[in-house]
Each structure stands twice: as C-alpha cells, then as structure tokens.
Amino acid sequence: MATQSSPDQLVGILRDTVVALVRRDGPDLSARQLGVFLTVYLTDGPHTVRGLAAELNVSKPAITRALDRLGELDLARRKVDPMDRRSVLVQRTLKGASFLRDMRSIMAQAEQTARESAPAGEAPAEARRAG
C-alpha cells in the first residue's frame, strides 16, 4: 500500500537530501544547477540551451552558466547539433548518471528516515482513508 507524504515530510526529505549532498565528497550544485541537471536527466530530450531556458523560465545566459559548471564536473556536456549548427545540444554523461543514482539513494534513505520518525498518531493519508 502506497502512502502519501505530507508537505512537511517532503520538505524534510528535500532538506536531508541537500544536506547529505553538501556533506559528501562530490559535486555541490546550486539550486539552478540542480534544476538544470534534473531537467536534463529526468525529462526526454533532446535538450537545448534555448529549450532549457524556456522550460525553466530563466535566461539563456543563466542556463549557459549552469551548464558551464555541470560541464566542469562532467555531469553534462554540450555538443553542436549536427542538424542545425546554430543549436547546442545538452547531453548526459556516465558521471551524471552515477550522480543521479547516488541522489536517488540518498533521497530514498531520507524518505525512510522521515517515515520512521513520523509521530505515531499521524497515520499516512491513504491509511486514514482506508480505515
């Protein structure tokens, strides 16, 4: 039976995930960089600077700066589109896929911790509906 997390639990999971990412020996991404990274890895491509700017509602220079950092960390790379040399495609990398896998694991652990520490009298929403 699936349970639904409360907004407070979700914010706690996000906090615990971000703290774990900051504390570990690895890339430390800003919110914008993380937003660009997750968009590239969790949505279907192909991704372009122009498309990412439109999807995230930020300027193209802001996307370019985020991609500069992701490129330095080998979490994403840019490549000229062979079909339209004016366009730049954003590609995933093996290191980026590994980072996403680690992030998923950290989030799963944070979610488990949140569920275990939920007050005993606070049943998940689905359990309240079923009972």
- The DSSP annotation for 22-37 comes to HHSSS----HHHHHHH
Q: Can you tell me the distance from the alpha carbon of 1 to that of 75, in angstroms, rounded to the nearest whole number? A: 35
Mind listing the pLDDT tens digit of every residue in the chain (131 residues)?
456 778 888 898 889 988 988 888 888 899 999 999 999 999 998 999 999 999 999 999 999 999 999 999 999 999 988 888 888 899 999 999 999 999 999 999 988 888 887 765 554 444 444 44
Task: Give burial (CB, 10 Å; 0-12/13-18/19+) of 59.
Answer: exposed
H-state helical runs in 45-93: 49-56, 60-72
- Of 9, 4, 3, 39, nearest to 119 by C-alpha is 9
